[in-house]
Amino acid sequence: MKNKIPDEILLQVEKPGRYTGNEINMVIKDPKQVDIRFGFCFPDVYEVGMSHLGLQILYFFLNRREDTYCERFFAPWTDMDAMMREREIPLFSIETQDSAKEFDFLAFTLQYEMSYTNILNMLDLGGVPLYAKDRKESDPLVICGGSCAYNPEPLADFVDFFYLGEGEVLYDDILELYKQNKKNGGTKAEFLEKLLDFDSIYIPKYYDVTYKKNGEIASFTPNHLKARKVLKKTIVTDMDHVFYPEKQLVPLIDVVHDRVTLELFRGCIRGCRFCQAGFVYRPVREKTAETLLKQARNLVEASGHEEISLISLSTSDYTCFPQLANGLLDEFSKDSINISLPSLRIDAFSLDLMQKVQEVRKSSLTFAPEAGTQRLRDVINKNLSEEEILRGSALAFEGGWNRVKLYFMIGLPTETEEDLIGIATLSEKIVETYYKLSKEKRPRPVQVVASSSCFVPKPFTPFQWDAQDTHMEFLEKAKIVKKHITKKQIKYNYHEAKLSSLEGALARGDRRIGKVLHRAWELGCVFDGWSDLFDYNKWMQAFEDTGIDPAFYANRERSYDEILPWDHISVGVTKAFLMQEREKALKAQVTPNCRQDCSHCGAKSFGGGICYDYN
């Protein structure tokens, strides 16, 4: 493929490989020979997007269709963006370098609220009208999916439709419908009406919102006879037989995760009350070890990668983990192919496995206690005791590790100063555990890195009703932790508080937040998730210019009877269950994980997965 982008431009930008394509396993088709051109858009740079498993799955899933060409779009970095605007080069696909305007669909994956301004920037760069109401028949249809699509409202004015759930289920039906509609001379408006037959497709223009004087939502009502009052996500129930690519795109430049990715299961049994993914991806659905070993063989053979990464929300909860891990080691260690392990619950098996994987160089071990005291860990349903953390640390130190990473959260509901001091205390106890070893077993000093992120209440969690701390309160709390850490072996890091406070406003936003997004983008806000480009003052100006108060979304507690912006969407887990979990949190009562006992959260309605395997 010949580059349409002049070399003189590529030679002037950082990492030109972000824009040139031609990777190993890239799909090449003749765009004139297909019925549908589908743009998979990742609203961040190439290196981040190419590390996203959803992109790899949907890219090959859609391209297996002879009538469809799925091509990729990424957000150009600021240097390339400036060059493109100066030379009037529109946003282009990696595969053919054709303009975004030439596509039938532009589908954005929403993984992080702080990428929303990049979506507007990409549409603008592609010459596509930002607002759905302004698009003409010749413009692409704009779709959004992914974890943040479960609160679609902040982007509702910009998006033609939202896909709620897992892409492998409905995309074939949607594309068939589109193709038939196009063949019969139907308009895009008629196609959108036909999509109302699906209960997992949300089309914002078919719903009207009104507001009370106090700013709360007064009503959220369908304005079309076929529009459903409640939309329900769609899921894959059989993970062994669902499509999974036999090869993956292999980038020619370094990306964030440059390795083969094996997805063990979807969902999570744990029910940590702050974790949106743990609720929106329920129920747990596993692949068998045989399926995973076969997929690993195919992927290694087709990519040449020297590392296999095991991913899922809580990997060591995979029921066939010993069988899979040993099978991978037996098969691939002779070829010097590494097995990359995520943070595991530290027990004897995990350490034995890590010994085999990290025989040469022992990296740091990771624990995520999330809170510094047992009371607060019970509030968030972490189901991890101090005794387990210290026992795991002791096992690791015995095994030759001397570096530990600890992840905490500050600003959690019911948090007190004692909980903050507990972060320092627990970190120091881990250091003391190391020095209980005999001198021969600790040739080097121990290193403990404790990091705290700021709690962001998210939709579809038991804490969706809770107030978030202000950025000043977060900073004060981080100072308390820092003051109480006295041992030189402990390094303490804390997260950008202003970024988290803005994330809190966007995460629980309604349609009115769309005006703020548009204004922030006009003021130059892009790549807001990148701390060196994030400009808090511009965002505050955007709120001020639009007359919207960020504290209304981030820093107030909601009542149970308030209409929430995402109440018209069901992820299976019921609102009643989330309320029940919040009440248990306030009493510091824990809920068992899904394998110990079914808590009747509502996910059983999907008819598959752990709800049927264990109950």
At 370-379, the pLDDT tens digits run: 999 999 999 9
Q: How far is CA 240 from CA 58, 264, 380, 447, in A?
A: 17, 10, 32, 42
Highest mean pLDDT among 312-316, 452-456, 610-614: 452-456
State how far the Cα of 303 lies from the Cα of 43, in Å rounded to an integer.
Answer: 25
- Cβ-proximal residues to 304 (8 Å cutoff; 6+ apart), any chain: 24, 250
What is the per-residue pLDDT for 495?
86
**DSSP labels, 409-474:** EES-TT--HHHHHHHHHHHHHHHHHHTTS-GGG--S--EEEEEEEEP---TTSTTTTSPPPPHHHH
What is the per-residue pLDDT for 441?
87
Indicate the pLDDT class of residue 252, thresholds 50, 70 and 90.
confident
**DSSP labels, 171-189:** HHHHHHHHHHHHHTT--HH
DSSP state of 367: E
So what's the architecture of 7-232 in CATH?
3-Layer(aba) Sandwich (3.40)
At 198-247, the pLDDT tens digits run: 999 999 999 999 999 999 999 999 999 999 999 999 999 999 999 999 99
Q: At what angle do helices 78-87 and 116-125 cross, to 10 degrees?
A: 20
What is the per-residue pLDDT for 263?
94
CB atoms under 10 Å from CB of 334, counted, come to 8
Answer whether residue 360 shows pLDDT above 50.
no
Nearest to 459 by CA among 599, 553, 584, 593: 553
pTM, to two decimals: 0.95
Q: What are phi and psi of 462, to 5 degrees?
A: -60, -20
Q: Which residues pair with 310 in a beta bridge?
A: 262
Which has the higher per-residue pLDDT, 585 or 362?
585
Indicate the pLDDT class of residue 176, thresholds 50, 70 and 90.
very high
Indicate the pLDDT class of residue 340, thresholds 50, 70 and 90.
confident
At 150-171, the pLDDT tens digits run: 999 999 999 999 999 999 999 9
Sequence ranges of the domains in the chain:
7-232, 238-360+570-615, 362-495
Q: What are phi and psi of 7, to 5 degrees?
A: -60, -35
Do the domains 362-495 and 7-232 match in fold? no
What is the per-residue pLDDT for 358?
60
State how far the Cα of 286 lies from the Cα of 585, in Å rounded to an integer.
Answer: 29
Answer whether residue 99 shows pLDDT above 70.
yes
At 392-430, the pLDDT tens digits run: 888 888 888 888 899 999 999 999 999 999 999 999 999
What is the per-residue pLDDT for 335?
83
Q: What CATH number is given for 238-360+570-615 in this structure?
A: 3.30.750.210
At 591-601, the pLDDT tens digits run: 999 999 999 99
Answer whether residue 39 shows pLDDT above 90.
yes
**CATH 3.90.180.10 describes domain 362-495:** no
Long-range contacts of 338-342 (CB under 8 A, 24+ apart): 338/306, 338/307, 338/308, 339/307, 339/308, 339/310, 340/259, 340/307, 340/308, 340/309, 340/310, 341/310, 341/315, 342/309, 342/310, 342/311, 342/315
Answer whether residue 137 shows pLDDT above 50.
yes
Answer whether residue 1 shows pLDDT above 80.
no
